[in-house]
Structure 1
Amino acid sequence: MIRLQRIRDKAIAGLRRKMPIPLFLLVSLLVILLARDLAARRDNPNPNPVAYLGAGGVPEVVLKENQVSQYVTTGRINGTPIEFLVDTGAVDVAMPYMVAQTLGLTLQPGGVSKTGNGDVRTWVARLESVDVGGLVAYNLSATILPNMQGDQVLLGMAYLRRMELVLRGGEMILRPYSGE
């Protein structure tokens, strides 16, 4: 282990001698940015989903699962970009209070929701639109959870019940539900 550290230290020292300091700093910055971008893609492998015409001319969005087998994607609520976690166990689109404030939603008292962490008092709101890659659903219910942390929104059944879902080989395919 110590030998590997010495080799690494010699390699870095050699780079510093051969490379001017500004160039060394630029290369270091690029490596850091690349590592950060790769980490973000690992968490959200679907930063820009797009609907394509699938079989029968029906639009579909294909989402890839992340490294912990969750489906995370970027979409829009009322035109504002949002990061979603697909959650078939959530009845509504569920979000932290701070996200609801950012979206400028009109909140109404909602009652109590049962969560994995126990009973929680909630607020409710109506969403004009929820868009994932061009698959848009209108007039959806949202649950606002005051104790929910972060800025990720749970994409629950209020949206998903309007879609056909196919899970296959680490991918989730969303298509508008035709009702047939």
Structure 2
Amino acid sequence: MTEDDPTNKMAKIFVWLAWLIALGLLMFFFEDVLDKQYNPNAQPEMRLTSQGKAEVTLVQNRHGHYVTNGTINEMPVTFLLDTGATELSIPAHIADNLGLQASGSYRVQTANGSITVYKTLVEQLSLGNIILYNVAAHINPAMQSDQILLGMSALKRVEFRQTGKQLILREQ
């Protein structure tokens, strides 16, 4: 067989295709693994207590944060729980997608300095089976992330306690 033999060329092409497919499958598999490590609460554990109160249990991600999926006005979003944030802080690009209206600006102090944010009100917010109504929030044009900081304007309306690497939220 020579280098110019058509069957030799076809064999090389199939070997390359097999390697590309294998790499693609590995990327697909590990992307899913990494997503689960970042947000282990894509489907948060929910239950009703014996008193009939909604309860959600979240697990820390590999960085020690609590990240979970939820909804704002029935549209899916991802929350990063932040007890150091005064309000629900929504990146401007997400606020636009959610159709939230700004109603005035004010200055806030963040970890990155002082910025101007815009007041808004979230009509409905859900974390698993916990639903909150009329939650004070602000639209943050400086945030570029795809997560919403779930601050104390929402968290003060639920009971929460941490046990080990779990955070249990319960409606009041």
TM-score range, shorter-chain basis? 0.7 to 0.9
- Give the C-alpha shift of residue 127 in structure 1: 0.6
Number of residue pairs the alignment of both structures matches = 161
Confirm or deny that 1:61 pairs with 2:50. Answer: no
Give the match's secondary structure for 2:104.
strand
- Give the C-alpha shift of residue 24 in structure 1: 5.0
Equivalence for 1:86: 81
Tell me the alpha carbon deviations over residues 41-83 of structure 1, each in whole angstroms, 9 at most, x when there is no partner.
Answer: 1111101124212354432110000111100001100111111
- Give the C-alpha shift of residue 89 in structure 1: 1.1
- RMSD (CA atoms): 2.0
User: Is the contact between residue 45 and residue 58 of structure 2 (CA under 8 Å) also seen in structure 1?
Assistant: no
- Give the C-alpha shift of residue 144 in structure 1: 1.1
Confirm or deny that 1:103 pairs with 2:93. Answer: no
Unaligned segments of structure 1, at least 5 residues: 1-15
TM-score normalized by structure 1? 0.82
| Letter matched to residue 117 of structure 2 | T
Larger helix percent: 1
In the TM superposition, 1:126-141 aligns within 5 A as: 126-141=121-136
Unaligned segments of structure 2, at least 5 residues: 1-10
Q: Percent identity?
A: 35
TM-score normalized by structure 2? 0.85
Equivalence for 1:146: 141
